[in-house]
Amino acid sequence: MDTQEASRTLEVIRTLMERTTQYQFLTARAGLAAGVLACIGSVLFMFLDMADPWAFAAVWALVFVGSLLLTCVCTVMRVRERGEQVWSRQAQAVVMALTPAIFAALVLSVFFFVQGWHLWLPGVWMLCYGQGALATSVYAPSIIRKMGLVVLAMSVVTLALGPAWSVLMMALVFGVGHIWLGLTLLAAERRAQRSLRVFRTVA
């Protein structure tokens, strides 16, 4: 066995172990779609008044629901492509890990709207998103942990910059951030497929 074969075998072992423990159905398509939706949401505020709580709530609620729906559709499509279970062991673990962060985000959103502080919400959403991403990091690809850390750091920046920057930061973190996540997942998917294909031809 030469060095190249040994390192290729180690990579395949790693891929197989990750595939067993990690939730692998977070698709690049879902990341890209969420990023594009967040960018569209931000662009809409060139025509809408972000100080209007109803406009702010409507746009970001549509972005959130749209991203969630697209993620679900892409996930189900991917799971069916591979002929696996939608509500798998890993899927249950990921949902359980995400639930506290989503619950906190919902409660805080209602509270901030009631208080009239809605322009501070992007920083709060980023805090919850970062926390949720880190909570799933045991089951998710390492890129999600990195994304969680970056979003947590950006939440501090967003809160420090204040309401005037909230829409721009949403575009940067949830828009550009998700597009970057989608592209990274796409590259990882292609890499994993290539190494497993090589391994299976030998097996």
Partner 1 sequence: MNALKRLVDENDLLLHEPGRLAIVSVLAAVQSLTFTELRDVLELTDGNLSVHLQKLEKPGFVAIDKQFVGKRPQTSCRLTAAGREAFAKYLQHLEAIVQQGRSRPGA
Q: Which residues bind partner 1 (CB under 8 A)?
A: 1-4, 6-7, 9-10, 12-13, 16-21, 83-84, 199-200, 202-203
Position 66, amino acid: G
Shortest Å, Cβ 161 to partner 1: 42
Instruction: Tell me how far, at minimum, the Cβ of 148 lies from partner 1, in Å.
Output: 22
Q: How far is the CB of 98 from partner 1 (least distance, A)?
A: 21
How many Å apart are CA 199 and CA 203, to the nearest integer? 6
What is the nearest approach in angstroms of partner 1 to the Cβ of residue 178? 28
Considering beta carbons, is residue 168 or 196 the nearer one to partner 1?
196
Q: For partner 1, give the closer residue by CB, 83 or 116.
A: 83
Nearer to partner 1, 1 or 164 (CB): 1
**Which CB, 153 or 198, lies closer to partner 1?**
198
Nearest distance in Å: CB 82, partner 1:
8
Cβ nearer to partner 1, comparing 113 with 199? 199
Smallest gap from Cβ 7 to partner 1, in A, equals 5
| DSSP code string of the chain | --HHHHHHHHHHHHHHHHHHHS-----HHHHHHHHHHHHHHHHHTTTS-TT-HHHHHHHHHHHHHHHHHHHHHHHHHHHHHTT--TT-HHHHHHHHHHHHHHHHHHHHHHHHHHHT-GGGHHHHHHHHHHHHHHHTTTTS-HHHHHHHHHHHHHHHHHHHH-GGGHHHHHIIIIIIHHHHHHHHHHHHHHHHHHHHHHHHHH-
CA separation, residue 159 to residues 68, 139, 146 (Å) = 25, 29, 20
Nearer to partner 1, 20 or 100 (CB): 20
